[in-house]
Structure 1
């Protein structure tokens, strides 16, 4: 008698990839490169300052906080922060890191749907997280419903939607990522993943494919996201830019290569 092994859930795949001891900075351009990191930190401080000036406080919901890299900057800007994470090991790190800070609440988001309610917030922040969420538009629609009038939404460092990108943009992006992978000593994994991409095959039991869900869904549709937010906010702005893991290629790409990722900020919730 044979038994069929159950397909792993997204939470289980996240925990395989982002388990205890995982270094989020290793493969994250927004943490590795000071030009991107500095720009994001500046945006977060501006967002929090604008909300505090208007409301006298800033309650932030941060989706997919990882180990709290940008949570620290939200707190430094004066925000009270509720953070969510799907990976249980990362949740434990967040709980330990902020156990003495009354301005931080940690939520274990087991299914990644954003179906929980945290009450009214003044801003939602998503940094390098939407491409991990299969139904990111549905999730954003739900969390936007929790933003108070006059509040803001900020998303950053997610891949632009593939069908609108040129072949040169896609090839530069994928080859830069592959070269970085080889430099990390992940030759076997890098080659196996590359072969699956060339064949158009995606393994829904493999965290290398499913945690980076954008490879299945063709990136993040920044224009669909903008249109969704425009129904709820007075002003929505999309900023496109190049990013990659390699420091050398990031320096070159910022000057010469086409955009691969984007920031989006929506202000003044209706």
Structure 2
């Protein structure tokens, strides 16, 4: 279908020009941020700021939605689950699509509503239960760094699929591979890369307390850093289970595995070694 661009040499090496809002979402830091450890809002995902990775996600989104537009002969309607501050919503909108963005967090929904209040192509829904009851029918569903935050991600995907029209697509990016199937060296490399990055981010007391609990195998339900990162508690996200489930409803399902880490240096090394620890799932052509 011409949409398999994850490891394509032709993929762009930098994302589109950022707006001031995108920088607020986690883009280039100002001079004050260079003088002290950066503290980012919970919705900020440092992995997604690497230019090559960011560009590949945007390229895949654009290619999929352009193909849908051409095939449908109209603007596709897209559900973006857990849109955060709307960074990738801009990419979806740039294809001419209509976007329904959902957020379980009321503050994030309010931020999205303020950001897109003058854009009639965007509908913002506060969806505290994550059940999509107010969404209606769509032509595509997009998850970006979201599934690993959802306790029952398979049930959530099942609910999302019921809203996708025949011929539609489901794209999920940036979730950690299922730990039990990863080589030990990959798990170790991922941990070293993450913690070497983490020590430069400040808030050391909370960071060391979180690390200590994880090393002991103890997770505190009162701590957001423990229970929002469900992939740590349940050993990643089962990409094979997701793909098997989607093959029941889509004609074309592909799992793409790749390396991702917050550290820029470790990201460059991992890209060259092709040591996957993260995945994307691309499901096309929803069956009747």
Q: Describe the SS at the equivalent of 1:70.
A: helix
Shift of 1:256: 1.7
Tell me which residue corresponds to 1:78.
96
For the residues of structure 1 that align with 2:223 and 2:239, how far apart are their CA atoms? 26
Q: Describe the SS at the equivalent of 1:202.
A: coil
Tell me which residue corresponds to 1:186.
203
Tell me which residue corresponds to 1:165.
182
Tell me which residue corresponds to 1:237.
254
Q: Describe the SS at the equivalent of 1:238.
A: strand
Q: Describe the SS at the equivalent of 1:183.
A: coil
For the residues of structure 1 that align with 2:43 and 2:97, how far apart are their CA atoms? 23
**Equivalent runs, 1:192-207 vs 2, <5 Å:** 192-207=209-224
Q: Which runs of 5+ in 1 are unaligned?
A: 1-20
Tell me which residue corresponds to 1:57.
75
Shift of 1:100: 0.7
What is the Cα-based RMSD across aligned positions, in Å? 1.3
Which region of structure 1 is more displaced relative to structure 2, 210-219 or 131-140? 210-219
**Equivalent runs, 1:122-161 vs 2, <5 Å:** 122-161=139-178
Shift of 1:170: 1.0
Select the residue among 193, 196, 204 that pairs with 1:176. Answer: 193
Shift of 1:190: 2.1
Alignment partner of 1:89 is 2:69? no
For the residues of structure 1 that align with 2:207 and 2:277, how far apart are their CA atoms? 20
For the residues of structure 1 that align with 2:129 and 2:191, how far apart are their CA atoms? 29
- CA offsets 1:68-112 (integer angstroms, 9 cap, x no match): 000000000111000011221111110000001111011112133
For the residues of structure 2 that align with 1:183 and 1:87, how far apart are their CA atoms? 28
Shift of 1:197: 1.3
Shift of 1:248: 1.0
Tell me which residue corresponds to 1:12.
none
- CA offsets 1:176-211 (integer angstroms, 9 cap, x no match): 111111111232222211111111111111000111
Q: Which runs of 5+ in 2 are unaligned?
A: 1-39
Using CA pairs under 8 Å that are at least 6 residues apart, name the structure with larger relative contact order, 1 or 2. Answer: 1
Q: TM-score, normalised by structure 2?
A: 0.83
State how many pairs are aligned: 247
Select the residue among 56, 69, 76 that pairs with 1:39. Answer: 56
Shift of 1:242: 0.4
Q: TM-score, normalised by structure 1?
A: 0.88
Structure 1 residues 207, 115: CA separation in 2 closer, same or farther (over 3 Å shift)?
same
Tell me which residue corresponds to 2:10.
none
For the residues of structure 1 that align with 2:253 and 2:274, how far apart are their CA atoms? 25
For the residues of structure 2 that align with 1:115 and 1:255, how far apart are their CA atoms? 39
Shift of 1:115: 4.4
Tell me which residue corresponds to 2:11.
none
